[in-house]
Amino acid sequence: MENPFNDSVLLIDKPLTWTSFDVVNKIRYAGKFKKVGHAGTLDPLATGLLILCTGKKTKEIETYQAQVKEYTGVFTVGKTTPSFDLETEVDQEYPIEHIGSELIEKARISFLGKISQIPPVFSAIKVNGKRAYESARKGKDLELKPREIEINEFEVDASSFPLVRFRVVCSKGTYIRSLARDFGLALNSGAYLSELRRTKIGDFSVDNAESVEEMVKKLKLLNENLL
């Protein structure tokens, strides 16, 4: 009997503080897989859907990476951080008294469709052969080039303002941390990403994903039966 999880696609609900590679390594070890890869990084401070491919399915990783993604989360308006999220401390505060429902709606609409977005310096993008975050953490100034992305859907709920809940459906290459920064600028203020969850990748949903613990338990039981 062969391991049925070989040459397959696994849907994992990534826990908070884990890196995507933490999940890959845990599953590789538990399942004794020769090849495992993930189809799209999630930051340690994000949770949600992580697609893992094993064996021959790793050849399809780029196909999954290219698919449209859905995220939900929270922007905190009126403050900024260097990393655009909670990885770094708040560095500046901005006025929010002028922000009302009309300005929020105007800002929301401005992001729909194809837009230009500058990636965060705290990202894995390579600049002069080095990961941008490596230089950013050393305090070095970086200038990243804007790239075209597409926002298909963008919903916001400001009923708990200055916390703004959102749902966004976007193209490959979209940085939600950058969207947080730009949303704050569009409000003539500042904002950072304080919560993020990836809920869908293409037709795959986090509702059908398993926790790391659940998957590890399955793989260990399966390997015991295969011995």
User: Which residues are annotated as catalytic?
Assistant: 43
CA dihedral sign, ordered 112, 113, 119, 125: positive
Distance CA 54, CA 40 (A): 14
Q: Which residues contact 188 (CB under 8 A, 6 or more apart)?
A: 98, 99, 103
Q: What angle do CA 125, 189, 97 make, to 5 degrees?
A: 155
Distance between CA atoms of residues 114 and 112, nearest Å: 7
Tokens representing 206?
A: 């986090």
Q: Measured between alpha carbons, how far is 199 from 48 in angstroms, rounded to an integer?
A: 6
Rounded Cα–Cα distance for residues 14 and 25 (Å): 13
Maximum distance among all Cα pairs of the chain, rounded to whole angstroms: 67
Side-chain-facing half-sphere of 79: CA atoms under 13 Å:
16
How far apart CA 172 and CA 130 sit, in angstroms, is: 22
